[in-house]
Amino acid sequence: MIKYHAETRTFFLHGRTTSYVFRVCPEGDLEHIHYGKRVGEDDFSCLVPASELSFSPVPPGAVRQGFSLNVMAGEYGGYGQGDFRTPSALIARQDGEICSRFVYRGHRFRAPDFGDLPCARGGETLEVELSDLCSNVLLRLYYTVFEEDDVVCRAAEFINAGQSAVTLRRAFSFAVDLEGGDYDVFRLAGRHLAERTPERTDLGHGTLEICSMRGASSHQMNPFGALIARGAGEDEGECYGAELLYSGSFSLRFERGETERVRISGGIDDTNFSWKLEPGERFITPQAALAFSAEGLGGLSRRFHDFLRARVIPKRDVFAPRPIVVNNWEATYFDFTAEKLFALIDEAAQLGVDTFVLDDGWFGKRNSDKSSLGDWTVNEEKLAGGLAPLAERCHRRGLKFGIWFEPEMVSEDSELFRAHPDWAIGKPPRCTGRNQYILDFSRADVSDYLYGRMAEILSRYGVDYVKWDMNRHMTEFFSAALPADRQGELQHRYLLNVYALARRLKKEFPDVFFEGCSGGGGRFDAGMLAFFPQIWTSDDTDAYERAKIQWGTSYAYPMSAMSCHVSVCPNHQTGRTTPFSSRGALASLGATGYELDLCALTGEEKGQVAEQIANYKKIARLVLEGDCYRLSDPFKSNYFAMMTVSKDKSEAYAVGMTALAVPADFSRRIRLKGLDGRGEYLVEELGVKFCGASLMNAGLSMPRLNDFSAWSLHLHRVG
């Protein structure tokens, strides 16, 4: 709910339990007042007196003694008029000056047009229009309130209302200056095969930046960050989170300044960003979702999960049963024939798998990662008869047929590159990454070509599922199609056309299910989730490593977004052997599937596959819709445990794993969370009943386990 009090010129943005409050101060600037637990609609002006601070410039038009933008808690940082903290926008005029001061012009209730950018569905949007006193640019700040989810989405739009061009050198989505306190910053860092490792550090004075300059949101740093009150933990204490609906280079900054306030701001990374605005032109930023929780990081995660499921992930897919997949990548890599795949399809059908996904290597002359990206025609030498017999075999056996694409890439050794060398980003000599170049998606002819190739394959073979991969990061940021003064637009234009292609294909093929991937989880973000309801979480399929990766991912993203497969042992990434049952248990905490040669399994393992699938079908709704609780942190202990509880608390599913067996480990209980304390639950696997409060407060004894053994429990409320 959004309320405006004209007498005090104050905006109240209320969620179910939170309030975000700001006002137009006497000088006309927007002044942040409160973000946190819900408050009344009072006159808060006495909370924000202007007070003098040495070396804080007084801007023109100050009406209060000592007023300085350097001291004010703001809603969007200007530059060059005395605010020495991180500017939210840098606008260069034709005379070369960069200076901005944004003052209130008016407001209305209206959602903007995000063009090709993903945006959250629904909500109530406030548009506050400000004029830049230093240029002829109008700034519109958008606040979309999702009352039920307790989330506020922010975005900014720039309109050149002058007679000459200006250049945006930075255009962040949001900024907010929170009251001072002792805070830590929490982020999800990592690398390929080890994505989203949680890290919490003290925010001292200065700026802590979370960013990617790779043209993709990246394995290395996720576009999610949180500011946590020092005493807060998993289940208690105050924290603020910010998550960008964006999949490219980004920046999130946490800045503690001399007033002790903390400015959180962010959006598109500006290391190599600029956007030229001719008179009358506009630029809109990606959305940033902000959430506050007084129930620790656990509460914050559940807020984001609910928001992403209700507002971002495609409605049609979000709660629909997910395909149970067998993917041939780790089973065959590039070395397959139609016969090999037929056998895999037949076995999959027998075991209850419902989708076969043909991974990399089916096109061009691709027998290794050295060639053919861009040549999206079937490799008939390898697949006698082409794709049709495979698709038909799947459909005859009752399986869906899925296929892998890496649309954004081109191999040097490809027909496409030989025909269009200027379609690759950069000028020679260029870096390669996995022997490939990146296609210049800022060009419409490039994305149109890809649309044509993909649409042809999807319609000709009745494809039901697409895995969309992206296996390198950007270098040599140059487009042959952009003029010199627009080269800084390349990365953002690239992404807009990637989103546009995904949107166009989804619209044209509404029944096709799209999974995202980027060398595992290299583009696991809320922008991608707007098109891809699930994303391949990591190329690391080792059950123990996956426990950590899925744990880390859950801070920002729901279980249903994580694509998780059982793979073979010794594991291809770590060489580790873990029990088949553990691999199944871990993979059941997401969109499950198999990534191995089902034909090569022992009879016992095949039995386990059938059981795992049957079990998954029983708990799938909990994975899709439930509230996620983290129970035991595998980064800090020998034990991993997580659970999901249905919204009505009638059912729950918990999975745990012991890393290394510990002798005489007799007294180790696991306390469950999120249950109905007064309810009585039957623990299916143990055949015992417990009161919810007992399960949460006394806990259950964890079974004594061998190395990397897992357990799973399915609970039903019976009283």
Could you give the CA distance from residue 644 to residue 589 in angstroms, rounded to a whole number?
9
The residue within the footprint of ligand DGJ, chosen from 74, 190, 519, 579 (CB under 6 A), is 519
517 binds ligand DGJ per the rule CB under 6 A = yes
Characterize 386-399 residue by residue with b for buried, 16 or more Cβ atoms within 10 angstroms of its Cβ, and e for exposed. Answer: bbeebbebbeebeb
356 binds ligand DGJ per the rule CB under 6 A = no
Whole-number minimum distance, CB 197 to ligand DGJ, in Å?
18
378 binds ligand DGJ per the rule CB under 6 A = no
Are 100 and 93 spatial neighbours (Cβ–Cβ below 8 Å)?
A: no
The residue within the footprint of ligand DGJ, chosen from 132, 347, 539, 627 (CB under 6 A), is 539
195 binds ligand DGJ per the rule CB under 6 A = no
The residue within the footprint of ligand DGJ, chosen from 20, 158, 246, 404 (CB under 6 A), is 404
Q: Which stretch binds ligand DGJ (CB under 6 A): 162-170, 513-521, 556-564, 634-642?
A: 513-521
CB nearer to ligand DGJ: pick between 296 and 374? 374
Whole-number minimum distance, CB 509 to ligand DGJ, in Å?
20
Could you give the CA distance from residue 87 to residue 171 in angstroms, rounded to a whole number?
9
Whole-number minimum distance, CB 359 to ligand DGJ, in Å?
5
Q: Indicate if 469 belongs to the active site.
A: yes
CB nearer to ligand DGJ: pick between 134 and 587? 587
Q: CB neighbours (10 Å) of residue 515?
A: 24
CB nearer to ligand DGJ: pick between 217 and 479? 217
Whole-number minimum distance, CB 164 to ligand DGJ, in Å?
47
Could you give the CA distance from residue 517 to residue 471 in angstroms, rounded to a whole number?
9
640 binds ligand DGJ per the rule CB under 6 A = no
Q: How are beta strands 562-567 and 183-191 bridged, if at all?
A: unpaired
DSSP class of 241: E
List the one residue out of 150, 299, 179, 188 whose CA is nearest residue 239: 299
**Contacts (CB under 6 A) with ligand DGJ, residues 103-142:** none
Could you give the CA distance from residue 323 to residue 313 in angstroms, rounded to a whole number?
16
Whole-number minimum distance, CB 520 to ligand DGJ, in Å?
5
Whole-number minimum distance, CB 204 to ligand DGJ, in Å?
37
Q: CB neighbours (10 Å) of residue 511?
A: 11
Whole-number minimum distance, CB 19 to ligand DGJ, in Å?
42
Are 242 and 206 spatial neighbours (Cβ–Cβ below 8 Å)?
A: no
Contacts with ligand DGJ by CB under 6 A: the residue count is: 11
The residue within the footprint of ligand DGJ, chosen from 536, 555, 681, 690 (CB under 6 A), is 536
Q: Which stretch binds ligand DGJ (CB under 6 A): 183-191, 215-223, 393-401, 517-525?
A: 517-525
DSSP class of 604: H
Q: How many residues does the chain have?
A: 719
| Per annotation, catalytic residue among 360, 469, 525, 627 | 469
Could you give the CA distance from residue 148 to residue 554 in angstroms, rounded to a whole number?
21
CB nearer to ligand DGJ: pick between 393 and 523? 523
Dihedral Cα 72, 77, 79, 84, nearest 10 deg: 50
Please report which residue ranges of 189-307 form alpha helices under DSSP H: 296-307
CB nearer to ligand DGJ: pick between 360 and 464? 360
CB nearer to ligand DGJ: pick between 273 and 404? 404
Whole-number minimum distance, CB 546 to ligand DGJ, in Å?
13
The residue within the footprint of ligand DGJ, chosen from 83, 238, 469, 627 (CB under 6 A), is 469
Q: Mapped to the 3 state alphabet, what secondary structure does 662-700 carry?
A: CCCCCCCEECCCCCCCCCEEEECCCCEEEEHHHHHHCCE
- Contact pattern for ligand DGJ over residues 270 through 309, marking x by CB under 6 A: ----------------------------------------
> Does residue 570 have a cis peptide bond before it, meaning omega lies within 30 degrees of 0?
yes
Sorted by sequence, the CB contacts under 8 Å of residue 285 that are 6+ apart come out as 155, 156, 157, 171, 172, 173, 267, 268
The torsion angles phi and psi of 649, rounded to 5 degrees, stand at 65, 20
Q: Indicate if 42 belongs to the active site.
A: no
**Contacts (CB under 6 A) with ligand DGJ, residues 311-350:** 329
| Per annotation, catalytic residue among 132, 359, 539, 542 | 539
Which residues form the interface with ligand DGJ (CB under 6 A)?
A: 329, 359-360, 404, 469, 471, 517, 519-520, 536, 539
Residues designated catalytic: 469, 539
